Chain A
């Protein structure tokens, strides 16, 4: 059981700056994120897109913003738990007991949800029958490519993941690649490689087709695809891989007894606290009258939520407001020299 003054859910810009604010006022914190990297939507959705409305930064990309926020936190050596999704948040006396998908447990008086639009999950096939084969014959990511050796693998999708795996697996498996249109959105070199492999018969390429059915009992046996013009094809397959990108889902957050408004969490505008004492929501995931879904609003919300955490983490101390320009205590925490 890890004890911490505050646990932040979400390592996007808001979560990162909230950590900074907690550390500056002398609280410790840890961060959990479902993605395998730091940065949230900035890094997953628009790493290369320029952002023009971060105060005092005329222009930066999602990736640059993330790198700068990480740099701003560097001295604090914050512990990140990546690839973990927070599944459970339960009351335990005055603390919250938090459990992640990997079984990591935290005990903390403060939980700050900086979860954006929820956690990123792979988009799955809409066909209901696919569920029973999930993680057995149907996968949305590849953990162990050895299981595909010598087998028939049918890959759906038109982005880098689909193309990369089609190229890679064509070395040891019989690969069918299926995409809903003629154009692929992967790197040009990979697209060329796929066409080349298709020409030489190493990959069976079907474009303008989509999945329309599967057959099998304990194992998957065959797959049915349908062309735009309704023509149907059926062939044998051992495995199906689907790569349709990531979608954002509120996920387990909806089970924690919080007041929700569509896909957002209702908070007050003093502490950014939810209807549960000690649980706060900041950034895109929170809502209140006048809420703006801007990164700069997330920074403000995180700064206030961090101050609210102080009361519960240090019930016998009084929080004193100080400036980074003049406070020796804060400069010590930041590891910079005082004048």
Chain B
């Protein structure tokens, strides 16, 4: 289990123990955290699990997967620290990760 903090656009924080091996997207969906739609179910075919990674965390994560930035182009208000949460795998390495949820996904 790894602690991940999801912060909603309105500031509400959810700190959840997510099982290693799941994605940050799955951690949110399985725990009913509002603000992540994940329309395509994690196949990197949409941009509705878009999150902003807390600044100091951005460089600690594994590099973006091929094609991820192409999908982020289609996200709502992408920023420099944008990621698709379905492409971040949960492991001990990211214990304490903080992600901000955008105002909306679509």
Query: In this assembly, does B95 line the interface, its C-beta being within 8 Å of a C-beta of chain A?
Result: no
Q: How far is the CB of A105 from chain B (nearest CB, A)?
A: 29
**B73 and A245 contacting across the interface, CB-CB below 8 Å:** yes
A228 and B77 CA atoms in complex are apart in Å by: 12
Chain B residues with CB under 8 Å of A45's CB are 40, 45-46
**B45 and A185 contacting across the interface, CB-CB below 8 Å:** no
A247 and B77 CA atoms in complex are apart in Å by: 14
Q: Using A183-B69, A247-B106, A248-B46 as known contacts, say yes or no to A293 and B74 having CB atoms under 8 A apart.
A: no
Chain B, range 65-106, C-beta contacts under 8 Å to A = 69-70, 73-74, 76-78, 80, 103, 106
Partner of B73, one of A46, A49, A244, A247: A244
Name B residues whose Cβ lies closer than 8 Å to a Cβ of A.
Answer: 37, 39-41, 43, 45-48, 69-70, 73-74, 76-78, 80, 103, 106
Mostly helix, strand, loop or mixed at chain B's interface? loop
- Chain A residues with a Cβ closer than 8 Å to the other chain, count: 25
Chain B residues with CB under 8 Å of A274's CB are none
Q: How far is the CB of A159 from chain B (nearest CB, A)?
A: 7
Q: How far is the CB of A236 from chain B (nearest CB, A)?
A: 25
Q: Using A126-B77, A228-B80, A263-B37 as known contacts, say yes or no to A185 and B46 having CB atoms under 8 A apart.
A: no
Name A residues whose Cβ lies closer than 8 Å to a Cβ of B.
Answer: 41, 45-46, 49, 117, 123, 126, 157-159, 179-181, 183, 185, 210, 228, 244-249, 263, 293
21 contacts between A and B (CB under 8 A): A45-B45, A46-B43, A49-B43, A117-B39, A117-B40, A123-B74, A123-B106, A126-B76, A157-B73, A159-B74, A179-B73, A181-B69, A183-B69, A185-B69, A185-B70, A185-B73, A210-B78, A244-B74, A245-B74, A247-B46, A248-B39
Q: How far is the CB of B76 from chain A (nearest CB, A)?
A: 6
Chain B residues with CB under 8 Å of A159's CB are 70, 73-74
A71 and B37 CA atoms in complex are apart in Å by: 34
Closest to B39 in A: A117
Chain A residues with CB under 8 Å of B103's CB are 126
A41 and B46 CA atoms in complex are apart in Å by: 10
A263 and B29 CA atoms in complex are apart in Å by: 13
